[in-house]
Amino acid sequence: MKKGILLLAILIIFSCKNETEGNGKINVVTTTTMITDLVKNIGGDYINVEGLMGSGVDPHLYKASEGDVTKLVDADIIFYNGLHLEGKLVEIFEKMEGGDKTPIALADEINKNQLIGSEYFASNYDPHVWFNIDFFKQFVEKVTKVLSEKDPVNAEKFRENEKRYLDDLNKLKEDVQGVVDVLPEEKRILVTAHDAFNYFGKAYGFNVVGLQGLSTATEAGVQDVQKLAAFIIEKNIKAIFIESSVPRRTIEALQAAVKSKGHEVVIGGTLYSDALGNAGTAEGTYVGMYRYNIKTIVSALQ
């Protein structure tokens, strides 16, 4: 990591890249797949977007490669989630602050009073804010503003895309509520591999229980598994869920613990938590991911 920072410092000094180089489009670098998808929706073909993390990648554990450092140096704008979601990239982003391309933490747009507190993160807040669709809309507004300022020639296009995308997100919000309404309140208990769904739970009345803490950097212990198994039996929970960016063994251990007590819980499917599905599929977009997750959750718990 230290080597990466040194390289970054050297590259910043010797690099004088500007937006007229290359194909004339501004270069935007993003971290998570959710943010990459968002920025592509607003920027369309008018910008270059380079997402550092792919499908199935865990942002809590992701470390920058030297190739990533080069991308960051060549960027005109850098968008990331913030609130210490990208725990291993924070150091690099902080080093870049104050320069002409201070990385932009989109979660900073959200009023702190609306955030869920967490002792697991140096930020003291749960960073999984994109699961509140209204917060994600605030990300959209910020991205549109920043792109428009950097590239005023295409600002009108960005605003058109923003309007269309916000319409999509409003429709998504309505549809998700419609699906959730079908599930009786007492069945709204979501057990997953790690605590990514607290904002989702707050928005739709789910009791969310993660086997690991908020960050996947801490592994669940045997005691956690036993305690959660007892909870599942007590609440008569039908299904628990794997996450695409977290190894499945933790949830399988939980299922086995329930079974060893003479009960049955099924694995209700794989949810997309900290990363979207494969590019080119419906789940590879934020909207498609959300629709897929809610359908999977509700049909397994019903």
Per CB under 5 A, residues contacting Zn ion are 196, 274
CB-nearer residue toward Zn ion: 28 or 196: 196
Instruction: Compute the least distance from the CB of residue 117 to Zn ion, in Å.
Output: 16
Instruction: Compute the least distance from the CB of residue 288 to Zn ion, in Å.
Output: 20
Rounded CA-CA distance 101/89 in Å is 16
CB-nearer residue toward Zn ion: 190 or 196: 196
CB-nearer residue toward Zn ion: 65 or 218: 218
Instruction: Compute the least distance from the CB of residue 53 to Zn ion, in Å.
Output: 12
CB-nearer residue toward Zn ion: 32 or 148: 32
Rounded CA-CA distance 108/264 in Å is 43
Instruction: Compute the least distance from the CB of residue 292 to Zn ion, in Å.
Output: 18
Instruction: Compute the least distance from the CB of residue 128 to Zn ion, in Å.
Output: 6
CA distances from 48 to 42, 57, 81, 183, 275 (A): 12, 21, 19, 42, 21
Both tokens of 91, joined, read: 């150091």
Instruction: Compute the least distance from the CB of residue 125 to Zn ion, in Å.
Output: 13
CB-nearer residue toward Zn ion: 26 or 196: 196
DSSP string for the chain: -HHHHHHHHHHHHH----TTSTTSSEEEEESSHHHHHHHHHHHGGGEEEEESS-TT--TTT----HHHHHHHHH-SEEEE--TTSSTTTHHHHHHHTTSTT--EEGGGGS-GGGSPB-TTSTTSB---GGGSHHHHHHHHHHHHHHHHHH-GGGHHHHHHHHHHHHHHHHHHHHHHHHHHHTS-GGG-EEEEEES--HHHHHHHT-EEEEEE-SSTTSPPPHHHHHHHHHHHHHTT--EEEEETTS-THHHHHHHHHHHHTT---EEEEEE--SS---TTSGGGSHHHHHHHHHHHHHHHH-
Instruction: Compute the least distance from the CB of residue 254 to Zn ion, in Å.
Output: 18
CB-nearer residue toward Zn ion: 130 or 165: 130
CB-nearer residue toward Zn ion: 51 or 127: 127
Instruction: Compute the least distance from the CB of residue 214 to Zn ion, in Å.
Output: 6
Does the CA dihedral 85-86-88-89 come out positive or negative? negative
CB-nearer residue toward Zn ion: 76 or 274: 274
